[in-house]
Structure 1
Amino acid sequence: MTGVLFVFILVVVVLAIQLMQAQKDFQAQTDDLSEQIEKSSKAENIRKSMLDEIQKDLESEGIEVIVSQNGSVISIPNDLLGFDSGSHDIKEKYEAKSLTIGTIIAREIEEHDGEEFLDTVFVEGHTDNAKYQGLEGTGNWGLSTFRAISLWKLWEEELPSDQQLETMQGPEGQPLFSVSGYSDTRPVNANQSTDLGAAANRRIDIRFTIVRADSDTLKEIEREVADQ
């Protein structure tokens, strides 16, 4: 009888230990999920604050840019860049304002600890819908990309050493900035029948993406929590 009681007690103890471990695992997974959500929310708030400050600082310099409704993109209109149709050159008279934009972006990223919370900052070039045949057949895709490269090279070559964007790194040590082109696939003005309407689409967007938990990781955490 004593042996049976001992086995019973042993089973109860083992079950209690397993239950305690399961509760610890559940709490750890819940805490991990909460931490990921909190970090993403904090990153979104910092990004919004950063872009608001960039826009405000630029306005104080007489430079009007557009911030998207979701607070993730700064759009630099063509009247600040002066791209002619079919051209990717930033003319000399537009360089000063372009450099001011780069200077303020660098400063606000630094002041908001952006290298901790930003994943990538995309310098995105865009064109109007006029068919461009140059750049060895790359057409509007090449033209839009070279517009973004033109702005990036200007920043790279002319910004002072303490405002260099190319040295900024994301949380995992990768370069923070990237350059891309979207051809005429993302127009901001559907009416391109006039010079003014077409010029609105010859622009550069600066897209700020934040660090987020991998979606598969979040789903796995959520599944594990649900199974507890």
Structure 2
Amino acid sequence: MELVIVQQNVCGRDVYEGKRNIQDYEILIKEVREENPDIIFLTEFYYREMYDITQEILEEYEFIKPVLLSEEDENKDGLYASCILAIKKTTVNKGERFELANMLDYRYICADLNIKTGKILKVLLMYVPQTYNATRYRVEQKRKMLVSANKYITRNSNTLIFVGGDMNSDIDGKTTTWIKEFEQIYEKLIDTDCKKKATWKGKRLDYALISKTMKSSVNTIPLETQSDHIGLRTVWNI
């Protein structure tokens, strides 16, 4: 089976702060849909403005929210730094979701997905905090998220696993706080990005990583959209 995964930071902060409008976001999601992905992962998602619109555009997809996200949380004005997962109903089915320790509640999705071949694909998708001008709490929270993710990946290193998202860590430039913690994750997995192009303002912050035990054809290329982040399109023959 050829599995297509698209991940995209959608500039939720810019919509929340009025620097961009919701029509720009609609164009962005339509661009993502044109890639005909089986799995879509969106970060920096601004729930109050974006969720209904996204469902309308991606009507053939089922949506998976962060495991601890409540209806009250979804309606909070400031809930932009979050994520959402959409899976195409004809090729991927929702399995069990998992709660990991020391993770920011709305910034990750950890789940089993049942793909058409009958195999289970484990996904860990994250929007890790940036640490530029961040509070001490946010800096430490990034470390905790990376450590927790590393433990999950280690436990599942012999399975079919995909790890992606906006990590706010530049492995090539060795930049951002806790880069060594991110390196520990990176070294356990295969980097599928063949071009390793910067995804935001000269930095490579977005990644598509798979387990080393999975010997299969996989390739990730950059995806130019309306966002200020370059997206990633991964084609994986499983």
TM, length-normalised to structure 1: 0.32
Bigger RCO (CA 8 Å, 6+ sep): 1
> Which protein shows a greater Rg?
1
Q: Which structure: greater strand fraction?
A: 2
